[in-house]
A and B are shown apart, each in its own frame.
Chain A
Amino acid sequence: MKTINLTESTVRDLNQALHDQTVECTEREWEVLEPKGQHNIACGLDQNISVDIKGPTGYFCAGMNKKAHITIHGNAGQGVAENMMSGTVRVKGNASQAAGATAHGGLLVIEGDAGARCGISMKGVDIVVKGSVGHMSCFMGQAGSLVVCGDAGDALGDSLYETHIYVKGEVKSLGADCIAKEMREEHIEELTELLNRAGVDEQATAFKRYGTARQLYNFKVDNTSAY
């Protein structure tokens, strides 16, 4: 295992060392010490390696991740795992706003709470939050699943496309065009599998499903005449 202490190395040096693993993988296990809330830690990785960050991180940690398995042993700042393509990102603490923003794939697990706009414009990532999520979560979500074991804030799933949303607790309010939907067998299966992958001990049957009513402009066939 290789250990990098961020009071001795810069984030740029760390990220360069991690990016070098894309060309030739010489070390599978990495440990990052004393991150002290710095931004852009472990961004743009593209190799099947594991990175353990021992402390709180700043903005965009694990952004654009591909293949790597990144664990943050602390709280994460804004935009954790934003635009992730594949791999796993796990936050042991809470995550700030826009966690998993625009992410296309992979799994993001937040063991604490997530702030506002969790999964904003998500495009295929699966996000599992053990705690609650803030307002405007899943805004314009396009694909993938958002699982919330706690509560959801205002305007959940506003202007949603096709993301599946599962919430166990209370939803403060639903956003435009987001509605509660029937939990069918296929959804129980999908959710059970997601909870298993995330290592979260919850019963899929305790959750409610939310999704798009498909009533906004983009869903109206009449509007095709505009083109």
Chain B
Amino acid sequence: MCGIVGLYLKNKALESQLGELFEPMLIAMTDRGPDSAGFAIYGDEVPEGSIKLTLRHANEDYDWAGLAGKLKTELNVGVEWFKNSKVAIFKIQTTDVIAEAFISENAPEVLILSAGQSIEILKEVGLPENIAKTFNLSGMKGSHIIGHTRMATESAVTMEGSHPFSTGMDLCLVHNGSLSNHNRLRTELEREGIVFETENDSEVAAGYLTWRLQQGDSLNEALTNSLKDLDGFFTFTVGTRDGFAVMRDPIACKPAVMAETDDYVAMASEYQALTTLPGIENAKIWEPEPATIYVWERSSDEGVK
């Protein structure tokens, strides 16, 4: 089943309340996905030439200070970091390739959940309410955020199998539905150099978008191509550094409802996840059309259809 939610702020004054506005949206989707939950939040950007990584270790007492120290001395670069439950956010003054290679060589047991200038991904197994509390979601700031509550179908209930999935810089995807051609597509994408961490079908969709973007597609073009190459049923919400996109398959049996005001654009699997947003009574509310791409980006701030 699964529930997906997204909130993109048009009004910068609300950025300090992003987590507070989003938390009840995620929790409202517990009925659709009680086994795990996660979210990708965008904000607190690092400058060009630096990289922000979301790292995770199964042991909550993992020695992050040790890893940061090693990075500093051995790579001779600046490192800032903070811990949030089993996850740590590392801001490193180097490129993604160098940082990721160093971590996989020197701390192979550390999982890299996301890499980019802006993105942070936090996800765990358990009830959405508990996960929101664990990571102190309500206190988080940012420009946009997408989240997922999972009822597992295509792979096991594990942290790794929970959404959002990120396979490229600042890109992530949450998915409600199920893909039928993910095995074949995964093999083809692996041949193109895309690396997958799980057997999950949604990760393949994220990997597909990463591959198309690497080929020079715009987000819009990548999503248009995915309508041709992905078989199955889906509602996707995709986060990028600048904004977010929503798309449903041509049959559109997986639900989605959107709301827009002067302050924000929000999407959810069900309307009840939107009821706590300010001004929702007077928001423009609609269901995304099948096989139609909706994009909001910082650069335009206009919905593109």
User: A residues engaging B (CB < 8 A)?
Assistant: 36-39, 56, 58-59, 75, 77-78, 94, 96-97, 115-116, 134-135
Contact = CB atoms under 8 A, between A and B. Distances in A.
Contact of B270 (A77, A94, A97, A134): A77
B197 interface: no
Contacts of B135: none
Contacts of B272: 36-39, 58
Interface of B: 252-253, 255, 257, 270-272, 274-275, 285-287, 289-290
Contacts of B289: 134
B290 A135 contact: yes
B255 A116 contact: no
B277 to A, nearest CB: 12
B252 A58 contact: no
B275 A96 contact: no
A96 B268 CA distance: 13
A75 B290 contact: no
Contacts of B270: 37, 58-59, 77
B290 A77 contact: no
A56 B244 CA distance: 26
Contacts of A115: 287
Contacts of B271: 37, 56, 58, 75, 77
17 contacts: A36-B272, A37-B270, A37-B271, A37-B272, A37-B274, A37-B275, A38-B272, A56-B271, A56-B275, A58-B271, A58-B272, A75-B285, A78-B255, A96-B287, A115-B287, A116-B290, A134-B287
Given A56-B275, A97-B252, 6 more contacts: A37-B275, A56-B271, A59-B270, A97-B253, A115-B287, A135-B290
Contacts of A116: 252, 290
- 5 nearest interchain CB pairs? A37-B272, A37-B271, A36-B275, A115-B287, A58-B272
Counting chain B CB atoms within 10 Å of each CB, the highest count among A37, A96, A97, A134 belongs to A37
B252 A96 contact: no
A96 B286 CA distance: 9
Contacts of B252: 97, 116, 135
Contacts of B255: 78, 96-97
Nearest to A117: B253
B150 to A, nearest CB: 20
A75 B280 CA distance: 12
A94 B252 CA distance: 17
A88 B255 CA distance: 26
